[in-house]
């Protein structure tokens, strides 16, 4: 007999979005407040794990058709391209630059290349966590 987990699934649908938003907020605020790519990535995978708990692996793979191993690769690629950027500008590797610009809605903000590096970290963390959990979940 199949259990009825309607409450769990309904709550998950709401909670997953709140957790995802929180993860993005932590990720973007990393430069000025506690947080950054690592915790942001972990929170994101926590949201996906919650989905995995409420539904099953197949459904979640349908919602998020992502190959997490490629996600690790892309994260590494973004981070190492940021590192290698120094090669093209004749400065030491991993030298970061930033610039203040005015955006229509967001206002006066600074854009920093360290965020790109962090984005790589974020993708690797999500990719690694999800690969581990999915691989263990699928093996018999």
Distance CA 123, CA 131 (A): 12
Q: Min. distance of Cβ 20 from other proteins in angstroms?
A: 26
Specify the residue, 53 or 97, whose C-beta has the smaller distance to other proteins.
97
Specify the residue, 27 or 68, whose C-beta has the smaller distance to other proteins.
68
Q: Min. distance of Cβ 92 from other proteins in angstroms?
A: 5
Specify the residue, 89 or 107, whose C-beta has the smaller distance to other proteins.
89
The CA-atom distances, in angstroms, between 75 and each of 5, 67, 69, 70, 96 are: 35, 13, 10, 9, 18
The CA-atom distances, in angstroms, between 14 and each of 9, 10, 104, 108, 109 are: 9, 7, 30, 32, 31
Distance CA 86, CA 97 (A): 10
Cα of 92 vs its chain's centroid, Å? 28
Specify the residue, 12 or 129, whose C-beta has the smaller distance to other proteins.
129
Q: Min. distance of Cβ 22 from other proteins in angstroms?
A: 30
Residues 8, 50 contacting (CB under 8 angstroms): no
Q: Min. distance of Cβ 38 from other proteins in angstroms?
A: 15
Q: Min. distance of Cβ 117 from other proteins in angstroms?
A: 10
The residues that touch other proteins, with contacts defined as CB under 8 A, are 69-70, 72-73, 76-77, 80, 83-84, 86-87, 91-96
Of 27, 122, 131, whose CA–CA distance to 76 is shortest?
122
Specify the residue, 57 or 70, whose C-beta has the smaller distance to other proteins.
70
């Amino acid at each position: 007999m199949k259990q009825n987990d309607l409450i769990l699934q309904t709550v998950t649908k709401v909670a997953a979005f709140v957790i995802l938003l929180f993860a993005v907020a932590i990720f973007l605020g990393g430069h000025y407040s506690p947080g950054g790519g690592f915790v942001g990535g972990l929170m994101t995978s926590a949201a996906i794990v919650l989905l995995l708990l409420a539904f099953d692996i197949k459904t979640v793979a349908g919602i998020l058709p992502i190959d997490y191993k490629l996600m690790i690769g892309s994260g590494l690629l973004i981070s190492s391209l940021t590192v290698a950027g120094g090669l093209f500008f004749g400065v030491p590797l991993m030298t970061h630059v930033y610039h203040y610009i005015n955006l229509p809605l967001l206002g006066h903000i600074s854009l920093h290349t360290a965020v790109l590096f962090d984005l790589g970290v974020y993708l690797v963390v999500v990719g690694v966590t999800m690969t581990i959990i999915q691989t263990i979940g699928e093996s018999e």
